[in-house]
Amino acid sequence: MNIDQDLSQRIVIQPADLPWVAASGAGVRYRWLEGAADSAARATAIVELEPGTTIANCTEQLGEEIVVLAGVLSDEYGSYSKGSYIKNPPGSSHACESASGCTLFVKRHHLDAEDDRRIVVDSAAMPWYQGLVDGLAVMPLSEFGTQHTALVRWAPGTRFNPHRHYGGEEIYVLDGVFEDEYGRYPAGSWLRSPHLSAHCPYSIEGCTIFVKTGHLLQETAAA
């Protein structure tokens, strides 16, 4: 497997573009957004666990970020319902299970090696902050070095200023419809824009997106 590894390219994947792929272990399947044959390489996927599924203990060499899209995920540290964000730092290990089944957005092996902070955010219980323009609300999730991760909520009719992505930008549309001059992206869409790319985003219908910026800078320079 070697999917969308060229970080200099803009990538857009719509919800129905990719098939589900069964994992070697029973009860787990993936929609791969980016990945490589090397199990330690950077990877992003939608992961679905069937009810009663357990994943054995594994070590995240360069960390992991998870957003629970549906159901409940559990590990030895707690249980996480829809809307939860979990960051497991480089070198950490955990085992996962889901009694009821769950669907996850997962990013692996992409954090800074010095980022040693584990973060858990229940978005249902945390405040939103006013964004840079009217109609935009932001919930910060994680920040380290050039990397910034947040949820951003767009009220219907919100338009943002034209801007350039220093260090790149990645978006997963959680609900509603996100748009820019290049297209329209309904819930389940994934966008990855390279270092120094630019656009003018807006949302006519309103939406909520997971946004990560600044994490493609070092890798792009090294490519």
Distance between CA atoms of residues 142 and 108, nearest Å: 15
What pLDDT band is residue 17 in, cutting at 50, 70 and 90?
Answer: confident
Residues 6+ apart with CB under 8 A from 76: 94, 95
Residues above pLDDT 70, as percent of the chain: 94
Question: Is pLDDT at 39 greater than 70 in this prediction?
Answer: no
Question: Is pLDDT at 198 greater than 70 in this prediction?
Answer: yes
Question: Is pLDDT at 2 greater than 80 in this prediction?
Answer: no
Output the average pLDDT for the chain: 91
Domains of the chain are 2-122 (2.60.120.10), 129-222 (2.60.120.10)
Higher pLDDT, 72 or 109: 72
Question: Is pLDDT at 222 greater than 70 in this prediction?
Answer: no
For tokens 């299970």, the residue is: 97
pLDDT of residue 94: 85
Higher pLDDT, 62 or 177: 177
pLDDT of residue 56: 82
pLDDT of residue 220: 40
Condensed to tens digits (0 to 9), the pLDDT of residues 153-180 reads: 999 999 999 999 999 999 999 999 999 9
What pLDDT band is residue 143 in, cutting at 50, 70 and 90?
Answer: very high
The closest of 109, 101, 90, 162 to 132, measured between CA atoms, is 162
pLDDT of residue 44: 94
pLDDT of residue 218: 55
Distance between CA atoms of residues 213 and 171, nearest Å: 9
Mean pLDDT across the stretch 19-42?
A: 81
What pLDDT band is residue 140 in, cutting at 50, 70 and 90?
Answer: very high
